[in-house]
Amino acid sequence: MSLARSSLLGGLDLNVSLDAPLGSLTWFGIGGHADMLVSPRSEEALIHLIQRCHEQDVKVRVFGGGANLLIDDAGVSGVVLRLDDECFRRIRYNAEGEVGAAIVGAGVDLFGFVQDTKRRGLAGFEMMAGIPGTVGGAVRMNAGGAWGEISTALQSVDHLSWDGQHRTFDAATLGFRYRGSDLPSGVILSAKMILQEDDPVTVSNRVKEIFQHKRSSQPMGESSAGCAFRNPDPDGPAEGRSAGALIDQAGLKGHRIGGAVVSDQHGNFVVAESGANASDVHRLMDDIQARVLDRFGVELSREIVFWSREEQ
């Protein structure tokens, strides 16, 4: 290990992969490598690592489930954190003695948590059925859809600032809104969810209904990262139309650049076909934005996050 890496990583309980194939871990399945992909094996190791990165001015990114992420073909520098150790994937039900309350680690898989709450007859998280990713990533972007957003079940967030300060935020103070909040940048450690006891069959039927609707209307079996763009302000020039509707009305379903194509099933999904690279997806999204702006005067904002070496 080089002297610089030793001063950053040495003596900490970490799993470290150098020049790690990061793009293949995303839902697109394309893109370059991470210079350092680091999985802390304890919260203490994470805190020390974050503090060292802060002191040494090393860029840190947090990799969740890779569900709404595109990695540049040239890869990314700095440290990419992956909270996939068991210590970040714990679920503690009846938290603090409250029936229905659960403290959920940031690395917990959304699909798995939906299924677990369904089996336990705990209602209030069904709206996340069919949404990929981790709890931490979902809280960060206030993920959700037509059935609701994760913030509706959220009571508090355990958070680590970039200088290593641990703090718990009351969700009611965080200004959650469509695909955003006032939660400071940093690392989400866990989230406290408030759920309600219900008949397991009733909860299961709700989950099944939501999942079946998504499966019938979205290309869930293809290499896509979920919705490519956020829905525009309904009071603006979009006149209440969703991003998918605008893309469809612009005649862009099936439009392609290289191996990237707009889904025929849902206009707001970009699919990476065999042979595609990140540049294809990036250029296609640029083209979609330009064409929708030219046709409707609506500037679409990206929901998919793009990581590159040049990103600050």
For the chain, give every domain's residue range: 3-86, 89-215, 219-307
Q: Cα dihedral sign for 295, 301, 302, 308?
A: positive
What pLDDT, on a 0 to 100 scale, did the predictor assign at position 203? 96
What confidence score (pLDDT) does residue 199 get?
95
- Structurally, at CATH architecture level, domain 219-307 sits in Alpha-Beta Complex (3.90)
pLDDT tens series, the chain, 312 aa: 565 688 999 999 999 999 999 999 999 999 999 999 999 999 999 999 999 999 999 999 999 999 999 999 999 999 999 999 999 999 999 977 787 899 999 999 999 999 999 999 999 999 999 999 999 999 999 999 889 999 999 999 999 999 999 999 999 999 999 999 999 999 999 999 999 999 999 999 999 999 999 888 888 778 999 899 999 998 899 999 999 999 999 999 999 999 999 999 999 999 999 999 999 999 999 999 999 999 999 999 999 999 999 875
pLDDT of res. 2: 62
- Given 53, 227, 230, 302, the catalytic residue: 227
Q: Report the length, in residues, of the chain.
A: 312
Is position 303 annotated as part of the catalytic site? yes
CATH label, 3-86, candidates 3.40.50.720, 1.10.10.10, 3.30.43.10, 1.20.1280.50? 3.30.43.10
pLDDT at 98: 80
Cα gap 109→65, rounded to integer Å: 8
What pLDDT was estimated at residue 278?
98
179: annotated active-site residue: yes
204 near 118, Cβ under 8 Å?
yes
For residue 3, the model assigns a pLDDT of: 54
Distance between CA 85 and CA 74 in Å, rounded?
A: 27
Q: What integer pLDDT is reported at residue 309 of this predicted model?
A: 92
pLDDT at residue 281, as a whole number? 98
- Rounded Cα gap, residues 262 and 269, in angstroms: 6
Catalytic residue among 179, 206, 241, 291: 179
Out of 43, 126, 149, 303, the active site residue is 303
Residue 227 annotated among the catalytic residues of the structure: yes
Per-residue pLDDT, 103: 97
Architecture of domain 89-215: 2-Layer Sandwich (3.30)
Which residues fall within 8 angstroms of residue 117, CB to CB, at 6 or more apart?
102, 123, 124, 125, 195, 203
